[in-house]
Chains A and B, each alone.
Chain A
Amino acid sequence: MTLKTATAPRTSSEPSEKRRFRPNLRDFGVTFGLAAIMLFLALNTTTFLTGQNFINLFDQAAVVGLLSAAAALCIISGVFDLSSTATLASSAIIGVMVTERFGVAAGFFGALLAGLVLGTITGLVVVGTKVNSFIGTLAISIIYRGLAIVLTGGAIVSPRADQIFAFQTWTWPSLFGLTAGSLLMLVTTIVLGIVLWRTTFGRRIYAVGGNQEAARLSGIRTGSIHVAVFAISGLCSAMAGMILASRAGSAQPSMALGVELTAIAAVVIGGTSILGGQGAMWRAFVGVMVLTVIGNGFNLLHWDTTYQQVVTGALILAAVAADGLFRKRSK
């Protein structure tokens, strides 16, 4: 008995040493998953590993990518923004209307400004009324869609014929042949990633999402953080709307209907916890790429795309279940 007690480990450093190896699968599982899918497609198709396919991939990912980057920011800070695509539609429509009057550059600027303003309003309403963000932004999304209908009378709006070429800027090839829209998405994701990772604002976002009361008692203006996050979400939505309108050459009230949920799904697939306070921007990006590559794979393999939704849904479930499992194990 005495011998046993004498040899019993006394240091507390041991658990932390073990801990070091634990989170790897959780941290990078989704990246391995993406790599596996890409490897599979590379081996089974001749077209997957072509430059043009990658240009297409990124172009397809642009809109959801921007929305997911915003959704990641919101979810990490502990809120949901279901109004993002309604903001997208409204700001795209405002962008087109401004374009008709004042030209393409002013139109793009107008769209971004509209997104920023609408996002800020969403934030002020949610923070001010203390309504649960899920319900609050759902209600606001209905209002913004309604606003879009009011603005257009329910019709499709498009710029003047002589403006169409310039208006489609975001579909033009740019760096590495990527479309300008994809590039905008990549740059935004990287910038927001750095904000989250390195800035005091990013730290506060994590703290507010992880424990709002602890953040408040540390002197953080939790309300301002949320308003700022919604404002950024609005701005990202406007960028996505701009790309979508630019691609179609027009805008309409039902643009990107339901895509806000795809964006949230991508964030979750990437491994960001919906409980807030955890996650990263690269995760959202990987999540978006997983969804996009799966869609791309179905096309390249000539599989029946009717199964694509089943696969996507199963994937989201798997991601959330895995998150719960790791969380339980780490307790």
Chain B
Amino acid sequence: MNTLMADGGAKSGDATELPRGISVAGTGKRYAGVPVLNDINLTIAEGEIHGILGENGAGKSTLLKIIGGAVTADSGSICLNGKKVKIATPRDSIAHGISLISQELSLIPNRTVLENVFLGRWANTAGLVTGRRDRDHFTTLIRETGFELDPDTVVSQLSIGHAQQVEILKALARGATILCMDEPTAVLNEMEKANLLRVIRRLSAAGTTIILVSHYLEEVLEVCTRVTILRDGAHISTADASEHTPASLVSLMVGREVDYLVPDLPPVTTGAATVLEVQGICSSTVQDISLTVRRGEILGLAGLVGSGRSETLLAVFGAEKVSAGSVAVNGQRIRANSIRDAIKAGIALVPESRKDQGLVMSRSVVENIALATLHIRSRAGFVRGAAEKKAVALMSTAVDLRGARPGSPIEGLSGGNQQKALFAKWLIHPPAVLLVDEPTRGVDVAAKTRIHKMIIDLAAKGTAVVVVSSELEEVIGLSHRINVMRRGRIVAEFDRNASRDDVMTSAFLK
């Protein structure tokens, strides 16, 4: 029963009684001829919280999607409670009590919570919807999970954390006994995250199986019973979470030891000149923001999601309308609300969302990296192709960009490489001020280390950096100084030795 993987030759071991739970055997998947999953054998027991870990591209999301019916495997079989089942479509998986909650939530934004929870299966009499039965059912579900949700709120008005709760309720309403969750905490703040983990434990205690794909190792170790590690589409290990440490997970994931913890930060030279000076900026989302960053200094902005960190960066960059206050770079005041002036003054912004704000996904790697500096490599309006190729090649090496030819669309790159490309775009013309929002969201461990080193090196060369991150370890480890934001204001300042607790306390309450 506690054999975690069916070994290749162990087919004769039928003597054990039928295990409760889900298992995959010999599962493989190729995309355009490239194998992304190879002969995966894995059994997950009923009521277990099972973590699946791996770098980006390791195949963990694909495995989850195969179980969830969103993707069909090329080979292998799935057994549910010992019986072989066919899961080819999401409909099949729902029929077997399996629900997939992917990173992009699939809710209908303009409809209410109640309608979304019972989407497509509203209680009805001859096609006429009878709201009361659903409402009762909803109340039961709410009680079971401990969520606080108003059934009549329109989903588009919910925070991302609440929207995710709706998604979970939807799965439970369909009678799901196996919940497959892909990076459920990536977009949540600390409080929502803690809440979600609590619910996961509660569901598991009630017999629901949870399969969790996540990048956050601590969180996986905290909540999971067992952990499976994939690397390059192959099954590397499955073991009890208690046998692992973050470092052991990382070394299994990357297949080599990586100094996972935050790298050394060279101190700011004493008497370094102030590069970025922000005074009393106000906008619709932030109030009276003042901050200074010196040459070579990295300032971290911590706070909950929605506390105004990203908005502060956008305001400094001229991308969000500012009603008062000023921004100066090297003593030169910049015209407010002008992105172009901010760029001219040497400010660069690596935005929060690569997909929505950072990259033009349909265009090539070259075009994306060249986009912000087109004018410096043009003659009479024509792009100087050779100069462009050279500049981009140089930058790709500098940021260690791998995985695609420069001329192919950037959407073919992995998340980590896309993020590196975003940095490359602004490093062509070394910035005086670099504003970075969530530098490593959805990025694998190796790329994360690489990006951290890049930011630190840039600071060491004299750039003033402001880093925003929802990962506390990241902000604390990466910054010389930390400003904490709450409700659009800066409420506290800490130095590098601040503890997690200090920062969190001031972010939540003061």
A-to-B contact residues, CB < 8 Å: 1, 4-5, 8-10, 12-16, 18-20, 22, 198-201, 203-204, 206-207, 210-211, 213-221, 273, 275, 277-278, 329
Known: A12-B57, A13-B403, A203-B383. A214 touches B362 (CB 8 A): no
Known: A22-B32, A198-B383, A210-B362. A219 touches B403 (CB 8 A): no
Q: Is B39 in contact with chain A by the CB < 8 A criterion?
A: yes
A219 touches B32 (CB 8 A): no
B234 touches A8 (CB 8 A): yes
Number of A-B contacts (CB under 8 A): 120
Q: Is B357 in contact with chain A by the CB < 8 A criterion?
A: yes
Known: A216-B319, A221-B340. A8 touches B38 (CB 8 A): yes
Q: A217's contact among B232, B317, B405, B414, by CB below 8 Å, is which? A: B317
B356 touches A211 (CB 8 A): yes
Q: Which of B12-37 contact A (CB under 8 A)?
A: 31-35
- The complex places the Cα of A18 from the Cα of B30 at a distance, in Å, of 12
- The complex places the Cα of A198 from the Cα of B317 at a distance, in Å, of 29
A-side contacts of B31, CB under 8 Å: 15
- The complex places the Cα of A278 from the Cα of B362 at a distance, in Å, of 7
B372 touches A4 (CB 8 A): no
B367 touches A207 (CB 8 A): yes
B382 touches A16 (CB 8 A): no
Q: Is B381 in contact with chain A by the CB < 8 A criterion?
A: yes
Task: Identify which of A220, A221, A329 gathers the most chain B CB atoms within 10 Å of its CB.
Answer: A220
A-side contacts of B375, CB under 8 Å: 200
Task: Identify which of A198, A203, A214, A216 gathers the most chain B CB atoms within 10 Å of its CB.
Answer: A214
Q: List 10 A-B pairs, Cβ < 8 Å.
A: A4-B39, A5-B231, A198-B385, A203-B370, A207-B363, A210-B362, A211-B360, A215-B371, A216-B339, A221-B340
Q: Is B361 in contact with chain A by the CB < 8 A criterion?
A: yes
Known: A207-B371, A216-B339. A4 touches B408 (CB 8 A): no
B38 touches A4 (CB 8 A): yes
Interface string of B385-407 (1 = CB under 8 A from A): 10000000000000000111100
A-side contacts of B359, CB under 8 Å: 211, 214
- The complex places the Cα of A113 from the Cα of B206 at a distance, in Å, of 74
**Nearest chain A CB to B375's CB is how many angstroms away?**
7
A15 (CB) vs chain B CBs: closest residue? B34
A-side contacts of B7, CB under 8 Å: 1
A-side contacts of B317, CB under 8 Å: 217
**Nearest chain A CB to B199's CB is how many angstroms away?**
31
B-side contacts of A277, CB under 8 Å: 360, 362-363
Give me the 3 closest cross-chain CB pairs, A-B, nearest first. Answer: A210-B360, A12-B403, A218-B372
B-side contacts of A204, CB under 8 Å: 374
A-side contacts of B374, CB under 8 Å: 200, 203-204
**Nearest chain B CB to A136's CB is how many angstroms away?**
23
- The complex places the Cα of A210 from the Cα of B361 at a distance, in Å, of 7
Please name 16 further chain A to chain B contacts, defined as beta carbons within 8 Å, in addition to the given A200-B382, A207-B367, A329-B32, sorted by A numbering.
Answer: A1-B235, A5-B231, A13-B402, A14-B34, A22-B32, A199-B378, A203-B367, A204-B374, A210-B361, A211-B361, A214-B360, A215-B360, A217-B351, A218-B425, A219-B372, A221-B340
Q: B405's contact among A1, A20, A203, by CB below 8 Å, is which? A: A20
A19 touches B319 (CB 8 A): no
Known: A8-B234, A10-B232, A200-B375. A213 touches B383 (CB 8 A): no
B-side contacts of A220, CB under 8 Å: 371
Known: A210-B363, A215-B371, A219-B372. A200 touches B381 (CB 8 A): yes
Task: Identify which of A200, A217, A278, A329 gathers the most chain B CB atoms within 10 Å of its CB.
Answer: A217
B360 touches A219 (CB 8 A): no
- The complex places the Cα of A273 from the Cα of B231 at a distance, in Å, of 36
A9 touches B232 (CB 8 A): yes
A-side contacts of B57, CB under 8 Å: 12
B-side contacts of A16, CB under 8 Å: 403-405, 408, 412
**Nearest chain B CB to A239's CB is how many angstroms away?**
22
B-side contacts of A214, CB under 8 Å: 351, 356-360, 371
Known: A19-B412, A204-B374. A217 touches B233 (CB 8 A): no
A211 (CB) vs chain B CBs: closest residue? B360
B5 (CB) vs chain A CBs: closest residue? A1
B-side contacts of A14, CB under 8 Å: 34
- The complex places the Cα of A102 from the Cα of B236 at a distance, in Å, of 83
Q: Is B155 in contact with chain A by the CB < 8 A criterion?
A: no
- The complex places the Cα of A5 from the Cα of B255 at a distance, in Å, of 9
B341 (CB) vs chain A CBs: closest residue? A219
Q: Is B472 in contact with chain A by the CB < 8 A criterion?
A: no
- The complex places the Cα of A140 from the Cα of B31 at a distance, in Å, of 46
Q: Which of B231-275 contact A (CB under 8 A)?
A: 231-236, 255
- The complex places the Cα of A13 from the Cα of B401 at a distance, in Å, of 12
Q: Is B349 in contact with chain A by the CB < 8 A criterion?
A: yes
Task: Identify which of B339, B359, B371, B405 gathers the most chain A CB atoms within 10 Å of its CB.
Answer: B371
A12 (CB) vs chain B CBs: closest residue? B403
- The complex places the Cα of A204 from the Cα of B35 at a distance, in Å, of 36
**Nearest chain B CB to A306's CB is how many angstroms away?**
39
**Nearest chain A CB to B389's CB is how many angstroms away?**
14
Task: Identify which of A18, A203, A216 gathers the most chain B CB atoms within 10 Å of its CB.
Answer: A203
- The complex places the Cα of A329 from the Cα of B408 at a distance, in Å, of 16
**Nearest chain B CB to A255's CB is how many angstroms away?**
34
- The complex places the Cα of A207 from the Cα of B362 at a distance, in Å, of 9
A199 touches B382 (CB 8 A): yes
A-side contacts of B319, CB under 8 Å: 216-217
